[in-house]
A and B are shown apart, each in its own frame.
Chain A
Amino acid sequence: GESVGLHLPTLSVQEGDNSIINCAYSNSASDYFIWYKQESGKGPQFIIDIRSNMDKRQGQRVTVLLNKTVKHLSLQIAATQPGDSAVYFCAEIPRGRFGAGTRLTVKP
């Protein structure tokens, strides 16, 4: 069946290092993806999005890469900060298929 999933449930990095969070999807017809950040006790917060006609999109300290050949996307966070500690989800919108999430922990 269709699914959107994440490779790793947890990721721990040192403050200042770069973080890479991965996501796999199985629906080849998916054409729009969003990365969300969810802090404890809060709803998901939009980080960055990408359409299937793009391979890469950059924001402030974040970059999303999309590889349609292997149906994989990744979120790269540059110079990770303690405030980046959260659970990160990739999602296919608008039908909202979310992965289980990756918990990012930033060590000072």
Chain B
Amino acid sequence: ETGVTQSPTHLIKTRGQQVTLRCSSQSGHNTVSWYQQALGQGPQFIFQYYREEENGRGNFPPRFSGLQFPNYSSELNVNALELDDSALYLCASSLGSSPELYGYTFGSGTRLTVV
């Protein structure tokens, strides 16, 4: 048990649909990052939120969006799903704005399958 909970654990969606994935971080963890991990690959950085504001983004299109809430939970939203969006989506939280000081804690991920 890492203290970072993601839901759902598995999800199947149809191409073109929209999906919302959720992450619940430990109390006080005001930095959250989302990653996409394709099968057999390392996690790819999507974006990071600090105190409810996006403060960094990887090479992902605008149809990937996020929200962070005051209760240390966050969401990843993906619109117009494509088959290549099938992956494990991970969230990672940290106590402060500098993960190199406090470390990251990862959740177990949501396995999204787009058919």
Contacts and interface: CB of A to CB of B under 8 A. Distances in A.
Interface string B54-98: 001010000000000000000000000000000000101000001
A89 B43 contact: yes
B103 A46 contact: yes
B42 A95 contact: no
Given A93-B104, A94-B56, A96-B33, A43 B109 contact: yes
Contacts of A93: 99-100, 104
B60 to A, nearest CB: 12
Contacts of A82: none
A46 B103 CA distance: 8
Given A89-B43, A96-B45, A101-B42, A43 B99 contact: no
A16 interface: no
- How big is the A interface, by class? 20 to 34
Interface in B21-46: 33, 35, 40-45
Nearest to B99: A94
A44 B45 contact: no
Nearest to A95: B45
A91 B109 CA distance: 18
Given A44-B90, A96-B33, A96-B35, A91 B100 contact: no
A61 interface: no
Contacts of A51: 100
B98 A44 contact: no
A98 B42 contact: yes
A20 B103 CA distance: 23
A101 B99 CA distance: 21
Nearest to A31: B100
Contact of B103 (A42, A49, A89): A49
B44 A98 contact: yes
B109 to A, nearest CB: 5
A32 B66 CA distance: 26
8 contacts: A34-B103, A43-B2, A43-B92, A46-B103, A49-B100, A51-B100, A94-B99, A98-B42
Q: Which 4 A-B pairs have the closest CB atoms?
A: A98-B42, A43-B106, A96-B45, A32-B100
